[in-house]
Amino acid sequence: MTISAAQQQVDEWIKTIGVRYFNELTNLGILMEEVGELSRIMVRKYGEQSFKESDKQHDMADEMADVLFVLICLANQTGVDLTAALEKNMAKKTLRDKERHQQNEKLQ
């Protein structure tokens, strides 16, 4: 699935199953919640915290998909073409960091 197709699919889902988009600030809050849920899993899996029994049922891939879904909702609501935005962002990073990371001793 392309990013554009994902934006279209989310829009169709919202309009048919979700009834309508939550407002932008509500979706921003939901995005923060979803990022927090992803963070909780990653901190326990890759960090130093141990899993609680209630954490073991959560799936990292599903939490990432939740983050992506809400981000796509926000993009759709605000008229952002995520494909174009990502392409522009990658070009910016490539130009800016062309030599920076190669010269970073910490990454060697």
At residue 24, the pLDDT reads 98
pLDDT in tens, 7-63: 999 999 999 999 999 999 999 999 999 999 999 999 999 999 888 887 778 899 999
The pLDDT of residue 108 is above 90: no
CA distances from 15 to 2, 19, 21, 59, 73 (A): 20, 5, 8, 27, 11
| Calpha distance 108→104 (Å, rounded) | 7
At residue 33, the pLDDT reads 98
Is-above-0.75 flag for pTM?
A: yes
At residue 106, the pLDDT reads 87
At residue 36, the pLDDT reads 97
Identify residue 26 by its one-letter amino acid code.
Answer: T
At residue 107, the pLDDT reads 83
Domain ranges of the chain: 3-81
pLDDT in tens, 60-104: 999 999 999 999 999 999 999 999 999 999 999 999 988 888 888
Homologous superfamily of domain range 3-81: MazG-like (1.10.287.1080)
Q: Which residue has the tokens 């891939």?
A: 61
